[in-house]
Structures are given as C-alpha cells and as structure tokens.
Amino acid sequence: MNPPFARVEPLVLHGERQQRGISTSASIDDVWATLADFGEIAAWAANVDHSTLLTHLPVGVGTKRRIQSGRLALVETIVAWAPPATGLGPTFEARLAYSIHGLPAVLRSVHNAWLVTDGGRRRTIELSTTVDAGARPPQVALARLVARRIARTSDEMLTGLSSYFDTKDGSS
C-alpha cells in the first residue's frame, strides 16, 4: 500500500473540493464490489458505527443508506454509478458518487465521489469531497473549513479500506 495523497481544488463558482487517494494491489473488481455493497460501509470504515440501506431497489442511482458515526446520523444517496468497464484499453475506471444529507442546513450541498482507476499492477482509489455553502466570502470560508474536516474523515475511510484489503489478502 502506498501512502495516501491529497489535493485541494477550489471550485469554479464557489465551494471547495478536497481529494484524497491511495494505491492498492486489490483488483478493481474487489474494490468495486466493496464500494458497491453500499449498505455495508461499516464493515471497512472504522469511523462508521452502523449503516443500513433505506431503499429496497437494486443498488444504483437513487439508492439511499443511513450511516451512524457517533451521534451523527447522515443519509447518503447515490447520484453516479459506473461499474468497471473492461475492454476499453489499458486503463479501466469505476465511479460511485453520493450526496450527503443531515449536515447543518447552511451547507447547500455535500458530495463524495469515489474513482477507482486500474493502471495494471496497481489500482488508485480516489475519494473527492465537494462542499457548497454559497458564494459569499463567509460561505466560501465555511465550505473550506467543512471540506477540510470531511477530508480527515475521508482519510479514515481510505485507511479503513486499505486495512480491509490487507486483511482480506492476508487471510486468502
């Protein structure tokens, strides 16, 4: 497992995007299967105490889950769902994105997006968090602060995912 990387990108209009990532030897199919098992995030993310699906549809765009992290309860809704495609050249990708609800109302929107890229021997797993609190300078500053806090949570999730695959590989 390579050390995580981080990137910060201001949005064109307003808000903040924090991007984190890791590299793994787990297959893109294993990574996708873990992320796509949307109701089971608590199995690998140590900062999630409990999770449950709120919809009874096949998992995909529109699927909702409720997560509990300490006293905080959030509802996450899938807004993008793109399983790995094969046969498209040397690099394959998978993408899963969801909106996050249950944070203070001053935040207009919060989204997480997972991107898994298969570069041959190693897979890169990126987690981007986008926070929009509005266009006024105090709102932009708030978005920046919240995005940084959520990015720390993203680091915990990526570490948990890495440990999950290390354990899974060690037990095989």
Model confidence pLDDT, tens digit, residues 51-110:
999 998 888 999 999 999 999 999 999 999 999 876 555 557 899 999 999 999 889 999
Contact 43, 67 (CB under 8 A): no
**Using an 8 Å Cβ cutoff, are 76 and 100 in contact?**
yes
Per-residue pLDDT at 87: 56
pLDDT of residue 118: 85
CATH code for the part of the protein at 2-171: 3.30.530.20
Distances (CA, A) of 46 to 42, 60, 95: 7, 24, 22
Q: Which range, 65-74, 118-127, 137-146, 147-156, has the best average confidence (pLDDT)? A: 65-74
Q: In the predicted model, is pLDDT for residue 1 greater than 80?
A: no
Helices and strands (H and E) in the chain: how many: 2, 8
Asked whether residue 14 carries a pLDDT value surpassing 90, the answer given is no
